[in-house]
Amino acid sequence: YPIGPDGTGQAQRTQSYILLRAIPKTAATEPLDAMGTTLIDRSPATLNVTKPRKKHVRLIAEISELQTLSGAMPDHLGLAVMLGGVLGLREGEICGLRRRDVAPDARPPLLHVRHAVKPIYDGHGRRTLMLGDPKSAASRRDVIIPDALTPMIRRQLDANAGDGDDGMLFPGRDGGLMPPQSLRNAWERTRNIVPRLR
């Protein structure tokens, strides 16, 4: 298998080498009879197998990069970058935040992670969004909001969040639930402005 400059083909080559080494090894070690006779005396395969490079490398954005990305996102989604990058919320958890889940004036300021937006598909491929539980029981948590984020949260509450305690912090186009995919799409378009994160 040829290896491309991005490492494409390395995994296939490694698997081929492993198989090529295993066949003669079996012939040299598995007995054919009660006397322990093997098909060959020793394996001629002496190839060294190198592990393929990992395709995905997790990059951690610096705070200055997060601020740049936050400012480049659509206005109603800028805070989402900081909640994900600084507080570690998942996409669905960000989309599932309601007004009642945010307490910027508490001491300390708190974010209550209680829900996540999840897409549900019927037998015809039609999608319905559901406000369900987070990924696991441990995902239900209270997160301390750094003081630096409280002005952004107040702006989001004043300018973009839905009405009432159950109003979504990041409402969808119809004022209801925002699909996590919409947040992901906006992020994918925006992160290219930071070359290191492309």
E-strand spans in the chain?
Answer: 102-103, 110-113, 116-121, 127-132, 141-144
Which tens digits make up the pLDDT trace of 162-189? 999 999 999 999 899 999 999 999 999 9
Which tens digits make up the pLDDT trace of 20-54? 777 778 878 888 888 878 888 888 777 666 665 55
Q: What is the mean pLDDT of the chain?
A: 87
Which tens digits make up the pLDDT trace of 95-126? 999 999 999 999 999 999 999 999 998 888 88
The pair phi, psi for residue 8, each rounded to 5°, is -60, 130
pLDDT attached to residue 192: 86
Which tens digits make up the pLDDT trace of 47-73? 666 665 555 566 677 889 999 999 999
Query: 9-24: buried (b, 16+ CB within 10 Å) or exposed (e) per residue?
Result: ebeeeeeebeeebeeb
